[in-house]
Amino acid sequence: MMKLVILGLLACSQVVLSNPIGEPSAAQPQDLDELAVLTEFDRLFNQLHYDIDYKLRIYRMNHSRDLKNLNAQFISRYGFVITDIQHKKQQVKDAILEHALDIGDTQNPCIVEKNDEAIRRATQAARDLSVAAEKIYGDMATITRVYFYPIVKDFQQTSSEFQWAVLEVLSRDNAVTGLQLALADLSFKYMANANMVNRVVDNLDYELEGFQDIINSLRRGAFKEIDDIGRNYVFNMEQLLTDALTC
């Protein structure tokens, strides 16, 4: 249907171009036809802008949803590991205290040293988690900035330019003596961009597919790093407790 409309506009433009610029009395109906075509072009370009803008909004919403879910997964994973570290720290401290009471010497230098070491290792694990979070945050910010928003911004700019496409052509062509040429320019401009919506969808689908692959890789690496911090802490605390029980 859209092709029929634009072909009709092209035909109208060609008919107008074929007619000589005549006397004012003969030009009035022609001018009205030209202005109607001009208005129709403005409507078509604005519809093209709306269609592209709608697609971009959908992609931005989906992208935001994916980032929200990923962020929730990271926070949840951190929560599990932090809880494990807190529980293990308290468990070891309680076991060391119980051993100190059993031997009747809570101020034993060996006991005090192991207790301080338990606190130090918990503090170090917390620092390691903070460093991991900082790295993940930086990677996410970079990936989003490089792989998604640039192409969305480019298409948004192109879409916005369609809103003043008619005005842009009129700023170059003589609207008094060369309106027919302006209509022809608009015809070719629209035909060249009529499939822009499909191009937007294809490009964003491609970008999002690559973005998702990178996100999956980042998720695997981040989860492994977070889990390793928790596992290493638990293992080291078990070793510390074993040593403390020999005091």
Q: Report the distance separating Cα 186 and Cα 56, nearest Å.
A: 24
- pLDDT of amino acid 225: 92
Higher pLDDT, 24 or 159: 159
pLDDT by residue (tens digit) across 139-178?
888 888 887 788 888 888 888 888 888 888 888 877 677 7
Confidence class for position 229, pLDDT limits 50, 70, 90: very high
Asked if 62 contacts 168 with a C-beta cutoff of 8 angstroms, the reply is: no
Give 80-87 contacts, CB < 8 A, sequence gap 24+: 80/230, 81/129, 81/226, 81/227, 81/229, 81/230, 82/126, 82/129, 84/230, 84/233, 84/234, 85/122, 85/125, 85/126, 85/230, 85/233, 85/234, 86/122
Q: Which of 94-103, 191-200, 227-236 has the highest mean predicted lDDT (pLDDT)?
A: 227-236
Q: Report the distance separating Cα 94 and Cα 82, nearest Å.
A: 18
pLDDT of 17 > 50? The answer is: no
Confidence class for position 31, pLDDT limits 50, 70, 90: low
Q: Report the distance separating Cα 93 and Cα 32, nearest Å.
A: 90
Q: What is the mean pLDDT of the chain?
A: 81
Q: Which of 9-23, 36-50, 190-204 has the lowest mean pLDDT?
A: 9-23
Q: Which residue, among 1, 29, 48, 24, has the nearest Cα to 186 in the 3D structure?
A: 48
Q: Residues in the chain, how many?
A: 247
Mean pLDDT of 198-215: 82
25 to each of 15, 22, 183, 215, how far by Cα in Å? Answer: 18, 8, 22, 68
Mean pLDDT of 53-63: 86
Mean pLDDT of 80-95: 90
Q: Report the distance separating Cα 240 and Cα 236, nearest Å.
A: 6
- pLDDT of amino acid 207: 78
Mean pLDDT of 63-71: 86
Q: Which domains, and CATH codes, for the chain?
A: 45-245 (1.20.1270)
